[in-house]
Structure 1
Amino acid sequence: MIRSLRLRLMMAAAMLALIFMLALLPALQGAYSLALQDSIEQRLASDVTTMISAARVEDNRLLMPLLLPGEQFNLSDSRLLGYIYNRNGELVWRSRATELAGIDYRPRYDGTGNQFGKIKNANGEEFFVYDVEIKLLGGRNAAFSIVALQPVREYQVIISALREKLYLGFGAALVVLLALLWMGLTWGLKALRGLSQELDQVETGERESLSEEHPLELLRLTGSLNRLLLSEREQRIRYRDSLGDLAHSLKTPLAVLQGVSETMAKRPQDLEQARLLQSQIERMSQQISYQLQRASLRKSGLVRHHVVLRPVVESLCNTLDKVYRDKQVNVCLDLPDGCQVAMEQGALLEMLGNLLENAYRLCLGRIRISLHASLSGDELCVEDDGPGVPESQRARILERGERLDRQNPGQGIGLAVVKDIIESYNARLTLEDSPLGGAAFRIHFQAN
């Protein structure tokens, strides 16, 4: 399937131009052929007139001079042939060149005046023939057929040369036309390229809306896109404000409940209930955080964000190095200079924060973070040398509330948040064994 609009239009225009030229070629060739035959007929009629003007009749006998005014009739190798027949169809005179022509012509003296057509000699060679019936010659009653012939091969040579010139001329004209069409389409589609560039700038965040410097035919489209961008931006602001209000409104009740649980924990008889209450409060807090992250970290429908990866990774690793300073974790960064990830910064921080926190917590001492580019898209990988994840459990731990590590607190929603973030950016998360010995979380970003 051809996806280029310019190439489609170019192919359609080229096809129409080719069909037009192929239809025009036979018409031009036919018109020229008719014109050439008319010219040959007129020339032969003129030659017949030459023979008539030279003929005399005495005692009902035709007399012709040795040399005719038309030099072609006097040459033995002439292409022009002349014959004169009486009323009975008997040959009474012929020009010198007819001796070698081998033509057996029979005139039709039927009162039609003159005839123009084609005949063939014994060898199959074709001739144009012009036959004129004469009843008065030199002022006297006479009945003769004056005939002039000319070989068709000269006509065929001219037509063949014309056909070749037409093909060459039309081919050159088609090439020039296609070049002009390509230039015209390039100029005509310049507006679409400008619109595409502005959309790229909107996606990368360089501009907030499309300009109005476009052709009239595109203004309705750009206006609709600008309204969509504005609506999306306002909706995202409302979502952030609503989520902030929700988080603030829930913060105080949870703090009160936490205080009550701490007070209850001081009474030995209520210690078990206090622990249960604290566990449920923690679970509620994590569930609220999960739902807030799930709602707020969705990818924008039109705007594409790109974040430089290395500074984000280094910042997270510096923080986790302080939390897990007793482990002395060795982190290897295999990241190309200036490499970027097509995500919002908040989403990238949340995703890598969960993956790196798991890697720091479960590793023995080594972590590797790498990014590799390919034709199908970029692949971000976080690996560790920990115990890894059994193949039978890999799908389960990506579900909300599922955990393999029961020795540390948590509700098992970190990887679920990671999965939601990745899927919201049309990316794909796979869990494999790492060459380091532990787990390898691979995030595949689709190529744009």
Structure 2
Amino acid sequence: MNSLRTRLLVAAALIVVAFGSLTGLILERSFQNAMLQAQQDKMQTLVYSLLGAASTNAFGELTIALEAVPDPRLRQPLSGLEAALFDDEGVIVWSSADFLRLRPPASPEVGEWRFERLADPNAFALSFGLRWIDSADDPRRYTIVVLEDANAWDRQLGTFRRTLWFWLGATLAALTLALLLLLRWGLKPLRQLGSELQRIERGEQQQIQGHYPQEIQPLARDLNTMITAERNQQTRYRNALGDLAHTLKTPLAVLRGMTAQSGLDEGFRCQLGEQIDRMQHIVDHQLRRAAAAGTRTLTEPVALRSLCDKLLTAIVKVYADKRLQVDNAVPEHLRLRADQGDLYDLLGNLIDNAAKYGNGQLRVSALSGSRQCLIVVEDDGAGFPPQAEHLLQRGARADERQPGQGLGLAAVADIVRAYGGRLLLDRSPLGGAKVIVALPLR
């Protein structure tokens, strides 16, 4: 559910299905109630017709002549329509052709209608209580009952249900498809914006160039402003640092020249030279630290293997006397979204240390997970001493016999911190040092 389109589509589909199901239930219930009311009205009309054809016989009892029955189905056996007349004791005094011998119904009050659905048999029953006054002014209590088979009614309702849900389902499917197309059309500017951002990250274009709706246009404009400002800021940083390095180069050169003058005490000359060298290395270190780009937005991914190949080829030439055996185990497909200059400094320092302090065997490997990328540089040298974390501080060195100022690991630590990563010092299976750099993926 991380996709905006999926969220909108699922929410719209749930609303459509809920609305369609509720609409279908309401229509089905309304149609069923209308059919029940129509059935009751039809049977009431038949009762009125039967009462219109009623008369008394010689014994003063109410009867209905079959030839006067308005509906011919009452004269036909197994027609599905039956009627009967019960006296106040529940005895049938008249019935149609084949009235079922049912239990006497509960007698409704005079003038009261009772409509119900019988389970056995499957039929509708309508009862009506009445009082008949004969010619002798003798009122008698009767109940007229009409039964009609419900199978035809069930078939009609079933046909309506199938038709209703078929067309309603087809309508809901068509509506869902229309919503899908509508969402696809509505979210097209966002997909286009995402594609442009990916092209900017790959270095295929410099800014967002598309024309977007007024709701998205401010976002595209602000992104262009942010991209331009970041690039300008990075350029200003690099230019300012270059100017600073150039400005400090002359005073340091003058001081170094002064140490070569005659007349200076040899001890003072050595001490002054050491301080000048120290100042030079401090300036170089701070320039590298300040120039570290850190985590930047919309940067092109860097292929780590090709970068490592270049560094390893150069280091083999620099330390040709050691006859280095290098192993580049970085996967071909692995790319890291970071500044290429930062990666050069980071890997260059680690590979240089491994070649300098190792005994000839050097290995670089990398592994990419879901959240971070691990870069591992190993050698077969003496390895790190216990409590090696102090080596990450500026000027700290593990082997004083080797030339250097102890700024390599400190510079690497600064770059790693700028990217929000971690730097671990460990023991390698090769027998020497193992440096693990964990950089978060974006």
Among 387, 411, 414, which residue is 2:408 paired with? 414
Q: Would you say 1:277 and 2:272 are equivalent positions?
A: yes
Among 193, 203, 206, which residue is 1:205 paired with? 203
Q: Would you say 1:383 and 2:384 are equivalent positions?
A: no
Among 405, 417, 431, which residue is 2:425 paired with? 431
**Secondary structure of 2:436's partner?**
strand
1:148 maps to what in 2?
146
Question: Partner letter of residue 413 of structure 1?
Answer: L
Q: Structure 2: how far apart are the matches of 1:58 and 1:372?
A: 107
5+ residue gaps, structure 2: none
Tell me if the contact between 2:365 and 2:375 (Cα under 8 Å) persists in the aligned partners: yes
Q: Structure 2: how far apart are the matches of 1:69 and 1:145?
A: 19
**Secondary structure of 2:363's partner?**
strand
Q: Structure 2: how far apart are the matches of 1:332 and 1:58?
A: 121
Does 242-251 or 64-73 show the bigger shift? 64-73
Deviation track 1:313-371 (CA, whole Å, cap 9, x = no partner) reads: 34333433343222222222224446544332211221122112211211111112233
2:126 maps to what in 1?
129
- Within 5 A, what are the aligned runs for 1:59-74? 62=62, 64-67=64-67, 68-74=69-75
2:228 maps to what in 1?
230
How much does 1:46 deviate? 3.6
- Within 5 A, what are the aligned runs for 1:14-413? 14-52=13-51, 54-56=53-55, 62=62, 64-67=64-67, 68-84=69-85, 92-109=93-110, 112=111, 115=113, 117-118=115-116, 127-129=124-126, 131=128, 147-150=145-148, 170=168, 173-263=171-261, 266-267=262-263, 270-299=265-294, 301-337=296-332, 339-390=334-385, 392-413=386-407
How much does 1:37 deviate? 1.3
Question: Partner letter of residue 128 of structure 1?
Answer: A
Q: Structure 2: how far apart are the matches of 1:47 and 1:199?
A: 78
Question: Partner letter of residue 375 of structure 2?
Answer: L
Tell me if the contact between 2:108 and 2:114 (Cα under 8 Å) persists in the aligned partners: no
Question: Structure 1 vs Structure 2: percent identity of aligned residues?
Answer: 32
Number of matched residues? 436
Does 283-292 or 337-346 show the bigger shift? 337-346
Distance 1:42 1:295, change over 3 A: same
Q: Structure 1: how far apart are the matches of 2:124 and 2:335?
A: 83
How much does 1:92 deviate? 3.8
Distance 1:225 1:376, change over 3 A: closer
TM-score, normalised via structure 1 length:
0.84
Question: Partner letter of residue 83 of structure 1?
Answer: A
Distance 1:405 1:313, change over 3 A: same
**Secondary structure of 2:396's partner?**
coil
Deviation track 1:415-442 (CA, whole Å, cap 9, x = no partner) reads: 1111222232344332222222111222
Q: Structure 2: how far apart are the matches of 1:148 and 1:86?
A: 15
Tell me if the contact between 1:41 and 1:130 (Cα under 8 Å) persists in the aligned partners: no
**Secondary structure of 2:115's partner?**
strand
Q: What RMSD in Å do the two structures reach over aligned CA positions?
A: 3.5
Does 2-11 or 346-355 show the bigger shift? 2-11
How much does 1:149 deviate? 3.0
Deviation track 1:244-265 (CA, whole Å, cap 9, x = no partner) reads: 22111111111111111222xx
Does 193-202 or 153-162 show the bigger shift? 153-162
Distance 1:427 1:175, change over 3 A: farther
Tell me if the contact between 2:125 and 2:145 (Cα under 8 Å) persists in the aligned partners: no
Distance 1:154 1:394, change over 3 A: farther
Q: Structure 2: how far apart are the matches of 1:154 and 1:322?
A: 98
How much does 1:134 deviate? 9.0
How much does 1:304 deviate? 1.8
Distance 1:401 1:97, change over 3 A: farther
5+ residue gaps, structure 1: none
Deviation track 1:84-107 (CA, whole Å, cap 9, x = no partner) reads: 467999754221332433343525
Distance 1:87 1:22, change over 3 A: same
TM-score, normalised via structure 2 length:
0.85
Question: Partner letter of residue 251 of structure 2?
Answer: P
Tell me if the contact between 1:130 and 1:149 (Cα under 8 Å) persists in the aligned partners: no
Distance 1:97 1:396, change over 3 A: farther
**Secondary structure of 2:98's partner?**
helix
**Secondary structure of 2:215's partner?**
helix
How much does 1:394 deviate? 2.6
Q: Structure 1: how far apart are the matches of 2:184 and 2:358?
A: 57
Q: Structure 1: how far apart are the matches of 2:161 and 2:295?
A: 63
**Secondary structure of 1:98's partner?**
coil
Tell me if the contact between 2:391 and 2:397 (Cα under 8 Å) persists in the aligned partners: yes
Q: Structure 2: how far apart are the matches of 1:63 and 1:298?
A: 109
Question: Partner letter of residue 312 of structure 1?
Answer: L
